[in-house]
Amino acid sequence: MNLKRRTLLPLALLLFCLCCFSTNSASAASPDHWVGTWATAPMAQDNHEVRVAADTTYREIVHVSIGGPAVRVILTNEFGVGPLTIGAGNVALSAGGSDINTAASAPLTFNGRPSIVIPAGALVVSDPVNLKLAPTSDLAVSVFIPAQPIQQVSAHGFADQTNYTAAGNVVSAKSLDAPQKIYSWPFLKGVDVRADSKAAAIVAFGDSITDGAHSTRDANARWPDVLAARLQSNKDTVDLGVLNEGIGGNRILHDDTGPSALARFDRDVLAQAGVKYLIILESINDIGHAQDPRRPYDVVTADDLIAGLSQLATRAHTHGIKVFGATLTPYVGAGYSSPAGEAIREAVNQWIRTTNQLDGVIDFDKATSDPAHPNVFLPADDSGDHLHPNDTGYKAMGNSIDLKIFKDK
């Protein structure tokens, strides 16, 4: 082989490799940017608690936050003790009640297939569906569950929303025939939208006061709903979704209704699509049970709760999430209130207002308390149990959040 040929062969090989690399790079699609527009926190439920029946379609209505040109749905068997078969699914714009808009409706698929088996302890994400979703609109997710043994259901027990069931596989039906009403979200965990790179999600993490207890059913009057509507009315924040991860009765340090906040944090916060901000409103149930004058149990101190809140903030910061601490709303007069518990509530609120471990403070306590009696609800904001706000109180909470804290999105 002459010298000229020996020189040209390596050069030709190099050019061939560069061409292959360039071709492969050009053909690799940029990943879509998905952001959560709606979510809920599932937990273990017995069949009788959520009225699950075999060979049944579940049509579940969700009020989304941000919109987008495509959606995907997350279904859950995270608390199941056996495999769960999803026979069919559909997503559509809600037409009110149990009806859907069939002109804005599409089947759900999973890797191109219409059905899927979800292993115990797992979840599945559907294939993307091209469906134009408007902000703060209602979406209907229909899921058919064929006959199978189901010992434990993954569901959010308190939806504060009317959902529907009907016999058989009728996921794509415009109207359900004689539907039964349910008030939980079985098998459904979240809805994401395809969004531009600037879009992000805010997780509202808490207990029944975040979940919306004592708000008007089907009115979307929870404080995260109020926040979502405000974000959409501000041109600087229209690309921020809000995900409600509240569970009634939830505590930071102990399991009760649902796993503790520390136990469910990865699943309900860190795993959410596009999450960039976290609002924590937790520990009033820890306080109430620990200092219940009738039957105290799982006794904790203010320092214990502060340590738990600090852990949540540290874990969020590890993943680049900004954390805002929400002060605990008044509870004097509630069934489990006590002077000792009030002292703990005030100590926790003082830490939230002054610590450098959080990125900011949302003062829900100030927004809802009676100026003349700061340790009780303003009467107009009290649902009547002196623990949960009413619609007016939730609106005051949502309106009290300074939207400028999300300016670095």
Residues 364 and 248 in one domain: yes
CB 220 within 8 A of CB 154: no
Q: How far is CA 273 from the centre of its chain?
A: 10
Residues 251 and 159 in one domain: no
Give the C-alpha separation, 202 to 409, whole Å: 10
In a domain, 4, yes or no: no
CB 200 within 8 A of CB 35: yes
Q: Residue 335 maps to which CATH number?
A: 3.40.50.1110
Give the C-alpha separation, 207 to 41, whole Å: 10
| Residue 198, C-beta contacts closer than 8 angstroms, at least 6 positions apart | 239, 409
In a domain, 316, yes or no: yes
Tokens coding 324: 């805002």
Could you list the residue range(s) of the whole structural domain that residue 94 is in? Answer: 34-189
CB 332 within 8 A of CB 376: yes
User: What are the 10-residue block averages of pLDDT along the chain, 409 residues in total?
Assistant: 47 45 48 96 77 86 98 98 97 98 98 98 98 98 95 95 98 97 97 96 98 98 98 97 98 94 98 98 98 96 98 98 98 97 98 98 98 96 98 98 87
Residues 332 and 313 in one domain: yes
- Total structural domains within the chain: 2
Provide the strand spans (E) within 180-263.
180-182, 185-186, 188-194, 200-206, 240-246
Residues 168 and 238 in one domain: no
Residues 205 and 185 in one domain: no
Residues 238 and 296 in one domain: yes
Per-state percent for the chain, helix, strand, coil, to nearest 5: 30, 30, 40
| Nearest Cα residue to 392 out of 214, 242, 233, 236 | 214
CB 282 within 8 A of CB 251: yes
Residues 225 and 308 in one domain: yes
What pLDDT shows up at residue 404? 97
Residues 338 and 219 in one domain: yes
Distances in whole angstroms, Cα of residue 84 to Cα of each of 25, 154, 259: 39, 10, 21
Provide the strand spans (E) within 122-210.
122-125, 129-133, 138-145, 153-156, 163-167, 180-182, 185-186, 188-194, 200-206
Residues 45 and 113 in one domain: yes
Residues 229 and 173 in one domain: no
What pLDDT shows up at residue 31? 84
Residues 310 and 348 in one domain: yes
Which residue(s) pair with 246 in the sheet?
206
| Residue 37, C-beta contacts closer than 8 angstroms, at least 6 positions apart | 64, 65, 66, 67, 68, 71, 133, 191, 192, 193, 201, 241
